[in-house]
């Protein structure tokens, strides 16, 4: 979801995704955004440091913002050995992408279940209620 895909001209905001399952048939999809969704999006609008064409929720940007806050809260100076550990490329770790993938919510719910020590649960189960 990007800012340019959201029509904010009326009281009810509407998201018009460019890709959806019936786009190949020439059909258009419109998703009305409720009050809770508007509050989250308006919070992003207030702290906006990115363009209209960029994705609204980005794992890469989220990681950078988290590390910025962590660095600001740091009480001691960073050790020289820690500074030199940062490599430009070839670290072997996969960095977050620009967009969340389709299975990201299920993965997050699964990790939260393990952390809370509750039975494993999946968002897919909501279909069967």
The total number of structural domains that make up the chain: 2
Predicted local confidence at residue 14, as pLDDT:
92
pLDDT in tens, 28-85: 888 999 888 888 888 877 776 666 677 888 888 888 888 889 888 988 887 777 776 6
66 and 113 share a domain? Answer: no
Contact 15, 5 (CB under 8 A): yes
Average pLDDT over residues 22-31: 86
Residue 20 reports pLDDT greater than 90:
no
115 and 67 share a domain? Answer: no
- Whole-model pTM over 0.75: no
115 and 68 share a domain? Answer: no
The range of the structural domain enclosing residue 25 comes to 1-74
Any domain includes 83? no
Predicted local confidence at residue 84, as pLDDT:
66
pLDDT in tens, 79-120: 777 776 666 655 567 778 888 887 888 888 899 999 999 999
Average pLDDT over residues 5-14: 87
Residue 49 Cα distances to 21, 55, 61, 117, angstroms = 31, 12, 10, 38
What are the backbone angles phi and psi of residue 55, rounded to the nearest 5°?
-65, 150
């Amino acid at each position: 979801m990007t800012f340019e895909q959201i029509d904010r001209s009326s009281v009810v905001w509407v998201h018009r995704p460019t890709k959806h399952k019936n786009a190949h048939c020439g059909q258009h999809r419109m998703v009305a955004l409720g009050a809770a969704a508007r509050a989250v999006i308006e919070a992003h609008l207030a702290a906006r440091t990115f363009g209209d064409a960029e994705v609204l929720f980005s794992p890469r940007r989220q990681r950078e913002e988290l590390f910025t806050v962590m660095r600001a809260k740091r009480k001691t100076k960073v050790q020289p050995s820690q500074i030199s550990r940062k490599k430009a490329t070839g670290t072997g770790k996969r960095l977050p992408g620009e967009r969340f993938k389709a299975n990201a919510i299920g993965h997050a719910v699964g990790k939260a279940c393990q952390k809370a020590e509750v039975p494993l649960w999946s968002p897919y189960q909501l279909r069967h209620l």
